[in-house]
Amino acid sequence: MARGRGELASQREVALVDLVDRALNTGVVIHGDITISLAEVDLVYLNLRLLLSSVSTVRRDLAEALDETGGLAR
Amino acid sequence: MRALRSDGLAAVYTRHRSHTPQVSRAEVLAHERVLEAVMKRGPVLPLRFGTQLESEKELEEVLRERRDALLSALERLRGRVEMGLRVLGGSDGRSRVGRGSGREYLLGRLDEQRRADRAARELHEPLADLALASALREQPSPPAILVGSYLIEEENVARFRERAEALATNQPDLQLFVTGPWPPYSFTGEEASA
């Protein structure tokens, strides 16, 4: 993940955040009940702290995960 | 992957015995790749990640019940793709907590709001003008100050990117990222407002 100096993110990182954001927050909903689990170490966006803003449960879990790990070393 | 066909519609899916979808890079990328593959052959409506049904029978019922709405949503998307804009430059939201006085906090929030409003005017609106439809996230999480989605004709991707790059030159304190083209995640007709 190549970030330039002073850059908050790289293009690749942002593309992945945008993808996760879209996959979780958009799309046709067939019924209200969706169960997903969070992979602990495979989420680049935890490193960036670009938290998803409209899925409140995911946000809470991510915030807790961040507090526990003190941010992910990557 | 399988396809279930029903009266002009097709649903693409996989079967599992029992499976909790995991929000990992691998699974989200797999979700995206299926959409891109299907998109090569015609318009596609993404489903929410993690959607699961009990059986093909249930899937058939969904297609039957929603046929008209799904068909019109698909027609509206023919030849169209989604572009994303993410503008970074806000402070890290977490560093705000517990620091300084209440007044400082409020002034900081006011400042952030001004930046967001300015970004909406100077970045989102010109890009929305190029698009058939657009959506602006109401409360992006820091360091993002603006998160936008734009539905455009596929042949306008380069033009959209050029416009965003030109707009970026007027914002030296912000980092703009254009992403896409995406399948039309944000424009399936499910969204409450555009």
d(CA A36, CA B149): 24
Residues B88 and B175 in one domain: yes
pLDDT value at residue A64: 57
| Count of the separate structural domains present in chain B | 2
Say yes or no: A35 contacts chain B, CB-CB below 8 A.
yes
pLDDT value at residue A24: 86
Q: Which sign does the torsion angle of CA B131, B169, B86, A44 carry?
A: positive
Amino acid occupying residue A31: H
Domain-embedded: residue B192: no
Residues B71 and B86 in one domain: no
B23/A24 Cβ within 8 A: yes
For chain A, give every domain's residue range: 35-74
ipTM attached to this prediction: 0.89
Residues B97 and B174 in one domain: yes
Q: Which residues of A touch B180 (CB under 8 A)?
A: 18
For B184, phi and psi rounded to 5 degrees? -80, 60
Long-range contacts of B3-7 (CB under 8 A, 24+ apart): B4/B56, B4/B59, B4/B60, B4/B63, B6/B60, B6/B63, B6/B64, B6/B67, B7/B63, B7/B64, B7/B67
Q: Which residues of A touch B186 (CB under 8 A)?
A: 22, 26
Q: How confident is the model at residue B76 (pLDDT cuts 50, 70, 90)?
A: very high
Query: Shortest CA distance to B27 belongs to which of B40, B39, B14?
Result: B14
Mark which of B76, B92, B111 sits at the end of a domain. B76
Furthest CA-CA distance within chain B: 63
Q: How confident is the model at residue B58 (pLDDT cuts 50, 70, 90)?
A: very high
> What distance lies between CA B77 and its chain's CA centroid?
14
Neighbours of A26 (CB within 10 A): 25
- What does the pLDDT look like over A11-59, one tens digit per residue? 888 898 899 889 988 999 888 777 777 665 444 444 344 444 333 444 4
Q: Nearest C-alpha of chain A: how many angstroms from B68?
A: 14
Task: Please report the number of interchain residue pairs, chain A to chain B, with beta-carbon separation below 8 angstroms.
Answer: 141
Best of B13, B28, B82, B136 to disrupt the A interface (most A CBs within 10 Å) is B28
d(CA A26, CA A54): 10
% of chain B residues with pLDDT over 70: 93
Q: Summarize the confidence of residues B128-133 as an average pLDDT.
A: 98
Between A45-54, B47-56, B89-98, B124-133, the lowest mean confidence (pLDDT) is in A45-54
Residues B91 and B46 in one domain: no
Q: Which residues of A touch B88 (CB under 8 A)?
A: 8-9, 14
Residues B130 and B66 in one domain: no
Enter the DSSP assignment of B84: E
Spatial neighbors of B188 by CB under 8 A, at least 6 apart, are A26, A27, A28, B45, B46, B73, B77
B46/A37 Cβ within 8 A: no
Spatial neighbors of A35 by CB under 8 A, at least 6 apart, are B20, B21, B50, B52
User: What range defines the domain where residue B51 resides?
Assistant: 2-76
Q: Nearest C-alpha of chain B: how many angstroms from A73?
A: 17
pLDDT value at residue A47: 39
B175/A22 Cβ within 8 A: no
Say yes or no: A27 contacts chain B, CB-CB below 8 A.
yes
